[in-house]
A and B are shown apart, each in its own frame.
Chain A
Amino acid sequence: MKTEQYNGSELVVKALAALKVEYIFGYPGGSVLDLYDALFQQSEIEHILVRHEQAATHMADGYARATGRVGVVLATSGPGATNCVTGIATAYMDSIPMVVLSGQVPSNLIGDDAFQETDIVGCSRPIVKHSFNCRDAEQIPTVLAKAFYLASTGRPGPVVVELPKDILNPLQKFDYTMPQSIEMRTYNPSVKGHSKQIKKAVEAILGAKRLVIYSGGGIVLSNTSEQLTELVETLNAPITNTLMGLGGISGTHPNFIGMLGMHGNLEANKAMANADVILALGARFDDRVTNNVKKFCPEATIVHVDVDPTSISKTIKAHIPVVGCLASVLEQLQSAIEKSPSRIDRSAQEQWWQQITQWREQKCLSYDLGVDVIKPQTVIEKVYQITQGDAYVSSDVGQHQMFAAQYYPFKKPRQWINSGGLGTMGFGLPAAMGVKLAFPDQHVVCVTGDGSIQMNIQELSTCLQYGLAVKIVSLNNRSLGMVRQWQDMMYGGRHSSSYMESLPDFVALAQSYGHIGIRVDHPSELDGALEKAFAITDRLVFLDIRVDEKEHVYPMQIKLGAVDEMWLKKGVKA
């Protein structure tokens, strides 16, 4: 019996379906029309038509962050592909599993500067985990299986697959063979921690008098939040999260001492600076955490666990490096700690907690409530209350992002969706859309500002097409707030290009896209507007909230200082 044969475009679709893809985020164009025709003739995968390819990458990214699955993007060659570059870089910096399928001109035209030709594999090389030039239609299922495997294992990341038009040709048919498993001799992602290193780590941890656990996005990506919480409770250790690690332990857990870093809590940064042992889990000592590396925690013994060896001792030397996937290493640590004859020094720990409590009592997140003006912090606190802390919250980049991170304690991992590494303005709305597709019954809030929202505002149209009822909470301060804050603090108040002098009427704009817009000018209107907005579950609501344009984000690390040298308020140092 002759087995059925398929053309290249059908092979792509069949392979994606076999890889359990639910959604593809994309935009058609010349080089991928055959593939779009194949998508049209099937029902397993839903294609979401965006209005700009950058938004497709952020939607796929938001979907991936919220679900833990691989986000899939489809773009045409040339401008379609280059429009994906920012989104690929965003995913790369935050280690998000994503596969980007890019069209390409026919193989015989590659290199001729053909219409809509760009070397997308070359363009994206520094910002991908790996990429494939697929040159052979029969290889499509294998290449896609490899792409998904690479994107989702080890330290996850984006993978680009380039598909020249000729291999998608509907007239040429091939056998379909999907590999049952993938083995690559050059890639071995799953590693257990070295037993000697585990032993050293446990000795350091149990010998500590002032231990701090510092965890990052790795905990979220590896789904090890429960294991982490168990370890924290076993040790009764204080724990701080990076911006990417928020939700790794519940924001309301008594051992959680807040986010650390540039806009971290005083108590978190103080604890780091005064720790004798730091256990870093799936974090990478980013410059927005460490401040001046030369002054970073000189007293501390650093135990650094990461699946990616390049993250270890890159910026801060680890005294006890442990390479391994967190699921294995946390299990190894937990069992070694439980079996160890030594016990943590409880009286030293009690003193340590007393010290931390004193730092906590400074209430670094308190702020002046003002009169007749809406404070951005208040908005986030109220959004937290009305959603009972259960919403998925995406953000753009700037002051509003920091306020969301500081004032919305995330209960669980994958609830907080933000571009931490690359800091991509325009990320928030499409990311929220990707989350909403995955979780249509949950509140999905996009916290944004008047600057960021305009970087992908066209997606309001996509929201209407697919009924994506996200809540846009725009903290409108009529300026690029974080830029303005730095200009206030470091550039003598010279607000060079940080104003938005011709803002649209966002309410009318939302309405023109078929959504609901609500403008909030006065604190007295805030509760009512939020109640109204969150009572609506079937329509997108755009809340244009006019907040205090002079507000700064505090605390804030002092430039070139140690990790705990911070401004607490305007002109007030810790």
Chain B
Amino acid sequence: MRRILSILLENEPGSLSRIVGLFSQRAYNIDSLTVGTTADQTLSRITITTHGDDRVVEQITKQVNKLVDVLKIIDLTEVPHIERELLLVKVFAKDEATRAAVTRIADVFQGSIIDMGKQSYTLQLLSNAERLESFLDMLRHESDIIELVRSGAVGIGRGDKALKG
């Protein structure tokens, strides 16, 4: 099952490599990883999407928590949450029919066309994993993908509760 793990940790050199090292050392999966600073400049927040059965995810959570730099870890998929990922994609759009189809897909998914070349369109979409996949499916159906880049998911819990130091 897919999980989104949010980790708060000391903003120190080497902290990120401890997290990444742990995943490879113990043969856990990283499907995506993002990192950035938080409102508290001394803390970083890492979001990792991973998959595994309950037992594996429990071990991942415990192992990450055991790292001395880690303050907190939560499994966002266990609580109501909002997930967002930014996707940039360049597709072939040479003829009018393809351009129209691609434009329509961008409209329907509330994405946008942010650049064009002589034979390509570049689109962006900010959404959750499921909608990004549908968006890409439709684009593949109407055109050919030249280049694809994804930011990896970030997530935040709903309501007043917060993950902070």
Do A and B come from the same complex?
Answer: yes
Is the Cβ of B68 less than 8 Å from the Cβ of A313?
no
Closest Cβ of chain B to A157, distance in Å, is 10
Is the Cβ of B65 less than 8 Å from the Cβ of A133?
no
Is the Cβ of A310 less than 8 Å from the Cβ of B66?
yes
Inter-chain contacts of B55 with A (CB < 8 A) = 313, 317
Inter-chain contacts of A308 with B (CB < 8 A) = 66
Return the chain A residue nearest B55 by Cβ: A313
Is the Cβ of B17 less than 8 Å from the Cβ of A122?
yes
Is the Cβ of A185 less than 8 Å from the Cβ of B25?
no
Cα of A453 to Cα of B145 in the assembled complex, Å:
62
Known contacts A125-B18, A133-B13, A186-B10, A314 near B68 by CB under 8 Å: no
State which of A121, A184, A187 has its C-beta within 8 Å of the C-beta of B14. Answer: A121
A111 at the interface (CB under 8 A from B): no
Known contacts A129-B68, A185-B165, A186-B71, A310 near B63 by CB under 8 Å: yes
State which of A126, A133, A186, A309 has its C-beta within 8 Å of the C-beta of B68. Answer: A186
Interface of B is mostly: helix
Inter-chain contacts of A126 with B (CB < 8 A) = 21-22, 25
B83 at the interface (CB under 8 A from A): no
B59 at the interface (CB under 8 A from A): yes
Is the Cβ of B59 less than 8 Å from the Cβ of A310?
yes
Cα of A121 to Cα of B25 in the assembled complex, Å:
15
Inter-chain contacts of B58 with A (CB < 8 A) = 313
Is the Cβ of A125 less than 8 Å from the Cβ of B17?
yes
Inter-chain contacts of B13 with A (CB < 8 A) = 133
B131 at the interface (CB under 8 A from A): no
B44-67 CB contacts (< 8 Å) to partner A: 55, 58-59, 62-63, 65-66
Interface residues on chain B, number (Cβ under 8 Å): 21
Is the Cβ of B66 less than 8 Å from the Cβ of A309?
yes
Is the Cβ of B25 less than 8 Å from the Cβ of A310?
no
B4 at the interface (CB under 8 A from A): no
B85 at the interface (CB under 8 A from A): no
Inter-chain contacts of B69 with A (CB < 8 A) = 130, 186
Inter-chain contacts of B17 with A (CB < 8 A) = 122, 125
Is the Cβ of B21 less than 8 Å from the Cβ of A125?
yes
A295-333 CB contacts (< 8 Å) to partner B: 308-310, 313-314, 317
Inter-chain contacts of A125 with B (CB < 8 A) = 14, 17-18, 21
Cα of A8 to Cα of B14 in the assembled complex, Å:
23
Return the chain A residue nearest B58 by Cβ: A313
A175-188: CB near B (< 8 Å → 1, else 0) gives 00000000011110
Inter-chain contacts of A313 with B (CB < 8 A) = 55, 58-59
Return the chain A residue nearest B18 by Cβ: A125
A91 at the interface (CB under 8 A from B): no
B24-43 CB contacts (< 8 Å) to partner A: 25
Inter-chain contacts of A133 with B (CB < 8 A) = 13-14
A121-162: CB near B (< 8 Å → 1, else 0) gives 110011001110100000000000000001000000000000
Inter-chain contacts of A185 with B (CB < 8 A) = 71, 165
Is the Cβ of B68 less than 8 Å from the Cβ of A310?
no
10 more A-B residue pairs beyond the given contacts A309-B62, A310-B63, A313-B59, with a C-beta to C-beta distance below 8 A = A125-B17, A126-B21, A130-B68, A130-B69, A131-B14, A184-B68, A185-B71, A186-B69, A309-B66, A317-B55
Q: List 24 A-B contacts (CB under 8 A).
A: A121-B14, A125-B17, A125-B21, A126-B21, A126-B22, A129-B68, A130-B68, A130-B69, A131-B14, A150-B68, A186-B9, A186-B10, A186-B68, A186-B69, A186-B70, A186-B71, A308-B66, A309-B62, A309-B65, A309-B66, A310-B62, A310-B66, A313-B59, A314-B59
Residues of A within 8 A of B (CB): 121-122, 125-126, 129-131, 133, 150, 184-187, 308-310, 313-314, 317
Residues of B within 8 A of A (CB): 9-10, 13-14, 17-18, 21-22, 25, 55, 58-59, 62-63, 65-66, 68-71, 165
By Cβ-Cβ distance, the 5 closest A-B pairs, closest first, are A130-B68, A310-B62, A126-B25, A186-B71, A309-B62
